[in-house]
Amino acid sequence: QKEVEQNSGPLSVPEGAIASLNCTYSDRGSQSFFWYRQYSGKSPELIMSIYSNGDKEDGRFTAQLNKASQYVSLLIRDSQPSDSATYLCAPASKIIFGSGTRLSIRP
Amino acid sequence: DGGITQSPKYLFRKEGQNVTLSCEQNLNHDAMYWYRQDPGQGLRLIYYSQIVNDFQKGDIAEGYSVSREKKESFPLTVTSAQKNPTAFYLCASSIASTRNSPLHFGNGTRLTVT
């Protein structure tokens, strides 16, 4: 079992809808997570961090951490074509990444 | 502006040649990392360094070598022993290698070996 698992996608979402990206992890010791966005051919950039159980909102993005169920999710409201990218989940205390979910926003 | 600079952006080499990828940061970060990314795949850790003159192997270190003689610099050498060197190489840095410190990435070097 991989330490961090993500559905590779592609996940296709209509413009204006909510995109929901999920990540499950196996190490119960992981307390915090980062979400990175990677555009095709570019390097990853940090978009969200979540350090405690529950929800964290930042603009159109909401990160959710559920330690009991060992999953972390990223919601993108009012999806825009510019949100089309691969989203990588990473435990904050480690230097590994999930394989990423490719998100495509269709007009 | 602070950041991480990788050079060159594109690199072409013949099979059997060693090649060195440059990574320089002016963020005053202690930790630096090298990742490899193949098309449609995630990031795989090659080497990382938490402090000058010290580095550790990642998951796919075979065929690669690194040095960390200065805090700002962490060059990666792809040797002829690396069987499939063609890939996108990403260098990153962080304040510390653990404890909630996000990674900052350079723009990457795309290596093609023929």
Cα four-point dihedral sign A88, A44, B72, B83? positive
Per-residue pLDDT of chain B in tens (114 residues, 90 and over written 9):
679 999 999 999 999 999 999 999 999 999 999 999 998 889 999 999 999 999 999 999 999 999 999 999 999 999 999 999 999 999 999 997 556 789 999 999 999 999
CB B42 to CB A44 under 8 A?
Answer: no
Contacts of A99 in chain B (CB under 8 A): 41-42
CB B42 to CB A100 under 8 A?
Answer: yes
User: For position B1, what pLDDT does the model report?
Assistant: 63
User: Which residue(s) pair with B36 in the sheet?
Assistant: B44, B89
CB B108 to CB A42 under 8 A?
Answer: yes
Torsion of CA B5, B11, B14, B20, to 10 degrees: -10
User: For position B98, what pLDDT does the model report?
Assistant: 59
Question: Hey, which residues 9-68 in chain A have their CB within 8 Å of chain B?
Answer: 32, 34, 36, 42-46, 49, 51
How far does A79 lie from chain B, in Å, by closest CA?
22
Alpha-carbon distance of B109 to B48, in angstroms, equals: 17
CB B103 to CB A88 under 8 A?
Answer: no
CB B100 to CB A51 under 8 A?
Answer: yes
Instruction: Look at the block and give the residue holding tokens 């080497």.
Output: B47
A&B contacts, CB < 8 Å = 47
Question: Hey, which residues 56-95 in chain B have their CB within 8 Å of chain A?
Answer: 58, 90
Residue B102 contacts A where some CB pair is shorter than 8 Å? yes
User: For position B99, what pLDDT does the model report?
Assistant: 65
3-class DSSP assignment, residue A34: strand
Instruction: Give the closest residue to B77 by CA, choosing from B55, B95, B94, B99.
Output: B55
Please write the tens of the pLDDT for every residue from A76-96. 999 999 999 999 999 998 889
How far does B103 lie from chain A, in Å, by closest CA?
8
User: For position B2, what pLDDT does the model report?
Assistant: 73
